[in-house]
Structure 1
């Protein structure tokens, strides 16, 4: 897709397209996104924060006025958009050290979303899911208040997305189709990272199992029809969990990933084994210097490494890249997945090209590979700009897999 804004910075354009994508489920308006983007200085993280915050503040203030005047729908819609704009505002601030403004924007995003959630019918319910010695934040979406057990989709984001953003990334699409949806932030994701100092962990089954335990306590959930969907980095986390948590009735990876270590070693000379040894070494000054050069020259790498250090709890770029080596489905892990699995793929994925096919090829369970094309406007990573199309195909697959179409008739 042609870059309508930020012609020389694909990262800024991708994140703008991401906000545009959320128009489909009420998370943005086209004019608000474009006018904000036009005010931003290309490549300037401070400008990005300032302008998105200004838009979010304005939209939130209008929502406050609407609520005070008794206009609940207008207030709800405004809070949803403001939540998404605050989320976008803090996106590039996780540097070394982390910019203190990111907590303000994140907390405002959550507050606005919770204001919107309370205005839905039925209410979108904030939940705290028991996890080890703490809880994980999330939301329960119900089709209605009848308490009827229904198929339920558990959803989580990935490297940089929030539980709140999942409203626009599939939660409301599920409710429209008769699914209850349980979304949450796991370790390393924004809620637990901001407020509990929890970083990502590769053994994601130890995250998903408590979430499934929680879901099974809810009277609205049909325990025989619980599916799991992971987005972006969630495309490797969710399959990893499904390899060991066999209560799941279906799995969706948007988009599928097989081995994050491939991204860590691809620019390091020598064999994979030699590259891994250099990444894990006590000292590798030449490699450290190479990472610094890459970050200076490549805005995507600069953001990814800075953010990766933040969410992985790594002290250096090399340590972050070394951490990725642990996130893999190789060694027979993918082959342990039993439930029917949908692997989504993006024709022009700029992050993980080819990995969905690798995951698909290693699956021994019932499997489907679903390609989204550039011609459809869906060729970018996780398909921003084609959200209605994406959700239709994913949920149609879930309908057929879980046989929910007949159950709802």
Structure 2
């Protein structure tokens, strides 16, 4: 899709498209997004923050006024938009984890979402999922108040998105189709990274396992029909979990990812084995300088490296690249998946182009590759900008997959 804003900065444009896409499920309003973008200087992280924070503050104020006046639907809608705008405001600031603007906007995003959640019918319930010696924050969506067990979707975001954003990235779409939905942030994702200091881990089956354990305690969950959906980097984490936890009845990779080592080494002009060795070396000033130069010349790479260091808890771009090498489905992992699997692919994915096809090729379970094109307006990463189309196709597939599901014995 041709950029409508920030034509020379793919990172700023994708994040704008992401917010445009969330309009479909209440995460924005077209005019609010446009007027915010008109106040932003391309490539200027402070300008981005200030513009989105100003819009978020204004919309949150309208939400509070509507609630005080008894206008619950208006308040809910405005709180949802404000939550997403606050999420956008702090998005580019993670190069300095001590920046107080991060937690200010993040906490405001969560608070607004929780106020919106309480105004749905049925209410969206904040939950805490027991995990090791702490908890994972999440939300439970119910189709109604009957307590009837229903097909259930467990879902989570990826490298940089929040559990609150999953409302727009699949939860609302599933709930309106009658699914029970459990969303959560795992280690390294915002809900655990900001306040608990938890860092990403590659063995995501040890994250999903406790979430399934929790889901099975809820009467609204049909234990024989629990599906798993991972967005963005979650398109690698979810299949990793499904490979080792066969309680997953169906799997959706939005989009599919096979090997982040490909991403970590793609910009290093060396054979992969040598690139991996140098990323993992104790010292390599030459490669360090090469990565710093690459960040200076690529807005997308600059953001990815800075956020990656924050999410992985490392101090250098090279250490982040080394950490990424551990995230893959090689060595027969993809082949361990047994449940029906949907792999989504955007034709112009600016982050993981080619990765969905690699994952699909390695699957030995019942599998479907669902491709989205520029002609559909759906070719971007995670089909941002075409979410009504994307989730119609995803959940039509899931309806059929779970209807024909035979529980494992």
Residues 1:250 and 2:262 aligned together: no
Task: Determine the structure 2 residue equivalent to 1:49.
Answer: 49
Q: CA deviation at 1:7?
A: 1.5
Task: Determine the structure 2 residue equivalent to 1:190.
Answer: 190
> Deviations for 1:157-179, whole angstroms, at most 9, x for unmatched residues?
00010100011111111111110
Question: Following superposition of structure 1 onto structure 2, how do residues 221-300 of structure 1 map, counting pairs within 5 Å?
Answer: 221-300=221-300
Task: Determine the structure 1 residue equivalent to 2:140.
Answer: 140
- Aligned counterparts of 1:21 and 1:404: Cα–Cα separation in 2: 31
Task: Determine the structure 2 residue equivalent to 1:158.
Answer: 158
Task: Determine the structure 2 residue equivalent to 1:105.
Answer: 105
Task: Determine the structure 1 residue equivalent to 2:374.
Answer: 374
> Deviations for 1:94-132, whole angstroms, at most 9, x for unmatched residues?
004442211000000000000000000100000000000
Task: Determine the structure 2 residue equivalent to 1:6.
Answer: 6
- Aligned counterparts of 1:105 and 1:227: Cα–Cα separation in 2: 32
Task: Determine the structure 2 residue equivalent to 1:128.
Answer: 128
Task: Determine the structure 2 residue equivalent to 1:385.
Answer: 385
Contact 1:236 1:329 in 2 (8 A): yes
Task: Determine the structure 2 residue equivalent to 1:89.
Answer: 89
> Deviations for 1:363-385, whole angstroms, at most 9, x for unmatched residues?
00000000011110000000111
Contact 1:129 1:210 in 2 (8 A): yes
What runs of 5+ residues in structure 2 fail to find an aligned partner?
none
Q: What TM-score do the two structures reach when normalised by structure 1?
A: 0.98
Q: CA deviation at 1:270?
A: 2.5
Q: What SS is found at the alignment partner of 1:296?
A: helix
Task: Determine the structure 1 residue equivalent to 2:65.
Answer: 65
- Aligned counterparts of 1:350 and 1:219: Cα–Cα separation in 2: 41
Q: CA deviation at 1:8?
A: 1.2
- Aligned counterparts of 2:84 and 2:228: Cα–Cα separation in 1: 23
Q: What SS is found at the alignment partner of 2:381?
A: coil
Contact 1:138 1:163 in 2 (8 A): yes
Q: CA deviation at 1:350?
A: 1.0
> Deviations for 1:68-103, whole angstroms, at most 9, x for unmatched residues?
000000000000000000000000000044422110
> Deviations for 1:116-162, whole angstroms, at most 9, x for unmatched residues?
00000100000000000000000000000000000000000000101
Q: CA deviation at 1:48?
A: 0.3
- Aligned counterparts of 1:311 and 1:246: Cα–Cα separation in 2: 28
Contact 1:98 1:310 in 2 (8 A): no
Q: What TM-score do the two structures reach when normalised by structure 2?
A: 0.98
> Deviations for 1:263-288, whole angstroms, at most 9, x for unmatched residues?
11112233211111100001100000
- Aligned counterparts of 1:76 and 1:97: Cα–Cα separation in 2: 31
- Aligned counterparts of 1:60 and 1:278: Cα–Cα separation in 2: 48
- Aligned counterparts of 2:137 and 2:175: Cα–Cα separation in 1: 20
Q: What SS is found at the alignment partner of 1:375?
A: helix
What runs of 5+ residues in structure 1 fail to find an aligned partner?
none
Q: What SS is found at the alignment partner of 1:188?
A: coil
Task: Determine the structure 2 residue equivalent to 1:321.
Answer: 321
The RMSD of aligned alpha carbons is 1.0
Task: Determine the structure 2 residue equivalent to 1:339.
Answer: 339
Aligned residues: 405
Contact 1:151 1:404 in 2 (8 A): no
Task: Determine the structure 1 residue equivalent to 2:38.
Answer: 38
- Aligned counterparts of 2:31 and 2:404: Cα–Cα separation in 1: 38
